């Protein structure tokens, strides 16, 4: 691979659990040196989260492993006077600092943006929070599900009789982390570099709801839960087959016509309820029932193969294990293996392929404080000083 895009960039990762760690993982995959600054003795809460109790007990929970490869770890008590001094020294040699504490916490600790920017005027300081650094909710605690609810996502997820529903993975955390990584990458290209980035998970999520939001803001149409139906077109949604559901998106007239003919339902093309796009949208549920009379006669795989060949976008509805085993993902190499404590562990790499190559993690997620000696020595601390700081609980 050519020179990595973020080679030579040092990032201080002061974050916990998911949004911040995911952001910094993306930066690490693009070549940044990411130093995870963790609380002595406990570290990132994600170290004890995940489906494997043994790993949790060892401080290497699966939730931590998922987004902390290619990072270094140092421990630091930022409440201690000497801990604040060490953070300032570390900031002087860094390009980026990312934190996801509640707004105001870093200022109360005496190491907020103004203090650290004085140490390094070129510092890019990124604060990730649930609701932003100001506003009436700024001090409210925010986890992914809270943000999903407040952003409106849950109100439009599910069917009319089941909503509100939570999206089945931490959408708000992940979108917030991606937004932060994008903002940091952009800020690294600015001149001068020093800046304060205020990334709110709620605003990040609302921004991704483009059509839903604009339909309300511009069209005055209040968003609602429509289950698996695509409200912009029909037939477009999930349909039953003999062995499981498939998604069909016949959004264009020619796709709709090809679908009806392939299913042997040319009669529907002239039916007054389905002649135009608006007719089909207004009668979508009746139309789905008509199409499923043919679709349930054969398995999903047959329909996917045949309809895609006709230019009608079709795909199976897979479980997560099925998706991970799918030949498409396997062929493009999204999942790779990395030795972790003598075990080959499967982890996802960067979602971006650059010049035909995908950046995969090269070093295992770090044990808590694994890089204390290397990093603190680099700042000029002697072995005796490091031992003293460790004994005092500062690192």
Are 67 and 25 within 8 A, CB to CB?
A: yes
Proportion of the chain above pLDDT 70, given as a percent: 99
Separation between Cα atoms, residue 312 and residue 134, nearest integer Å? 47
DSSP letter assigned to residue 223: P
Q: Looking at residue 341, what is its pLDDT?
A: 79
pLDDT higher than threshold 60 for residue 301: yes
- Which tens digits make up the pLDDT trace of 331-384? 999 999 998 878 899 999 999 999 999 999 999 999 999 999 999 999 999 999
Give the ranges where the chain is alpha helix by DSSP (H): 19-29, 53-57, 62-65, 81-92, 105-108, 113-119, 144-150, 171-187, 201-208, 210-217, 253-262, 277-282, 284-295, 300-309, 320-325, 327-332, 372-378, 383-391
pLDDT in tens, 24-54: 999 999 999 999 999 999 999 999 999 999 9
Extract the tokens encoding 176: 């917030």
What b-and-e string marks burial along 141-169, b requiring 16 or more CB atoms within 10 Å of the CB? Answer: ebebbbbbebbbbbbbbbeeeeeebebee
Asked whether the predicted pLDDT for residue 267 surpasses 60, the reply is: yes
Residue 55: DSSP 8-state: H
Architecture of domain 236-317: 2-Layer Sandwich (3.30)
Mean pLDDT of 275-282: 95
pLDDT tens track for 151-188? 999 999 999 999 999 999 999 999 999 999 999 999 99
341 is catalytic: no
* Each residue's pLDDT tens digit, 219-241: 999 999 999 999 889 999 999 99
The length of the chain in residues reads 395
The pLDDT of residue 2 is 52
Other C-beta atoms within 10 Å of 63: how many? 23
Q: Mean pLDDT across the chain, nearest whole number?
A: 95
* C-alpha span between 308 and 302 (Å, rounded): 10
pLDDT at 208 over 60: yes
Q: Active-site residue among 44, 95, 173, 371?
A: 173
Say how many Å lie between the first and final Cα of the chain, rounded. Answer: 36
Dist CA 359 CA 184 (whole Å): 19
State the CATH class of domain 10-208+365-391. alpha beta
* 312 has a pLDDT exceeding 90: yes
Q: What is the pLDDT of residue 1?
A: 47
What pTM was computed for the model? 0.92
**Separation in Å, CA 126 to CA 24, 104, 168, 284, 363:** 11, 13, 27, 46, 25
Q: What three-state secondary structure class fits 323?
A: helix
Domain ranges of the chain: 10-208+365-391, 236-317
């Amino acid at each position: 691979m050519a020179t990595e895009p973020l080679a030579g960039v040092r990032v201080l990762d002061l974050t916990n659990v998911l949004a911040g760690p995911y952001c910094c993982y993306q930066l690490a995959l693009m070549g940044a040196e990411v130093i995870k600054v963790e609380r002595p003795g406990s570290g990132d809460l994600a170290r004890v989260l995940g489906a494997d109790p043994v790993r949790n007990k060892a401080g290497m929970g699966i939730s931590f492993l998922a987004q902390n490869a290619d990072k270094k770890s140092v421990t630091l008590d930022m409440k201690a006077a000497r801990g604040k001094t060490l953070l300032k020294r570390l900031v002087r040699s860094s390009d980026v600092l990312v934190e996801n504490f509640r707004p105001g916490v870093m200022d109360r600790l005496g190491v907020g943006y103004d203090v650290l920017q004085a140490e390094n005027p070129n510092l890019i300081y990124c604060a990730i929070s649930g609701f932003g650094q100001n506003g009436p909710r700024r001090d409210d605690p925010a986890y992914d599900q809270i943000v999903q609810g407040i952003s409106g996502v849950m109100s439009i997820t599910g069917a009319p009789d089941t909503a509100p529903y939570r999206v089945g993975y931490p959408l708000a955390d992940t979108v917030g982390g991606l937004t932060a990584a994008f903002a940091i990458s952009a800020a690294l290209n600015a001149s001068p570099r020093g800046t304060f980035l205020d990334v709110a998970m709620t605003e990040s999520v609302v921004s991704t709801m483009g059509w839903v939001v604009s339909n309300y803001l511009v069209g005055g149409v209040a968003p609602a839960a429509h289950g698996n139906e695509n409200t912009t077109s029909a037939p477009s949604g999930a349909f039953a087959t003999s062995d499981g559901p498939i998604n069909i998106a016949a959004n264009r007239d020619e796709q709709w016509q090809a679908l009806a003919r392939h299913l042997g339902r040319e009669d529907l093309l002239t039916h007054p309820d389905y002649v135009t796009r608006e007719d089909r949208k207004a009668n979508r549920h009746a139309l789905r029932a008509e199409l499923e009379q043919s679709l349930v006669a054969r398995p999903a795989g047959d329909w996917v193969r045949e309809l895609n060949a006709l230019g009608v976008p079709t795909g199976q509805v897979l479980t997560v294990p099925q998706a991970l085993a799918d030949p498409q993902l396997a062929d493009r190499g999204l999942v790779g293996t990395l030795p972790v404590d003598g075990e080959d562990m499967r982890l996802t790499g960067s979602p971006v392929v650059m010049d035909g190559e995908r950046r995969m993690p090269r070093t295992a997620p770090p044990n808590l404080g694994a890089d204390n000696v290397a990093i603190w020595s680099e700042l000029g601390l002697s072995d005796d000083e490091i031992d003293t700081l460790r004994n005092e609980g500062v690192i």
